[in-house]
Chain A
């Protein structure tokens, strides 16, 4: 049973526009959420996180929104740049630092 779901396998966005990546989760025990970016043949790189006590966290071009009642989070990238093209993983953490990942969304930013 997938506890973290990224239902869009891929997303294509024009350079300069907003990219919105979505993630849903099922486990109410998750209390910390993270986004990672991954290039081919490399390990995932941490991007941004949010605690369950917040509904928004912003870091430069990246903003993560959390809707606890809907068990939904999203990552907004604005403006999108060609270098943002990568696979983006949503991850969720529960007590004891147990970290569960979604299947990923491939983002392509066209110049």
Chain B
């Protein structure tokens, strides 16, 4: 069964360091999402791609966060410099359709701890 792949599963980094997360969506999925989930809260959208284009990054803290999906396939989310408040689960999801609603499938997530 096709899955969304994310790496690493866990990451511990010191504040002010740079950290990067990688996501490989389900093959053929045009829409890719990065979400951040803080314990006790729902996933919060950071950025949404349609193919290689960003369609929503309104909640992405652009002074320290960046995201790219250069060939419209896999994607990287980077934080530089990391802050203590960035400790959270970072989730990647993908969905197949263009302009038609359908479910999004999630990867296992990356648990980030900033110390």
Q: Could you list which residues of chain A lie within 8 angstroms of chain B, going by C-beta atoms?
A: 4, 6, 31-32, 34, 36, 41-46, 49, 51, 89, 93, 95-104
A97-B48, A99-B33, A102-B42 as given contacts; A31 in contact with B101, CB under 8 Å: yes
Chain B residues near A51: list those with CB within 8 A: 101
Q: How many residues of B contact A (CB 8 A)?
A: 30
5 shortest interchain CB distances as A-B pairs: A43-B106, A32-B101, A101-B42, A46-B103, A103-B42
Most buried by A among B4, B102, B103: B103
In angstroms, Cα B87 to Cα A72, docked, is 33
Q: Could you list which residues of chain B lie within 8 angstroms of chain A, going by C-beta atoms?
A: 4, 6, 31, 33, 35, 40-45, 48, 50, 55-56, 91, 93, 95, 97, 99, 101-109, 111
Check if A44 sits within 8 Å of B43, measured CB to CB.
yes
26 residue pairs of the A-B complex, CB under 8 angstroms, read: A6-B42, A31-B101, A34-B103, A34-B104, A41-B111, A42-B108, A43-B108, A44-B43, A44-B106, A46-B103, A49-B103, A51-B101, A89-B42, A93-B101, A96-B50, A96-B55, A98-B45, A98-B56, A99-B45, A101-B35, A101-B42, A101-B43, A101-B44, A103-B42, A104-B40, A104-B42
Q: Which residue of A lies closest to B41 (CB)?
A: A103
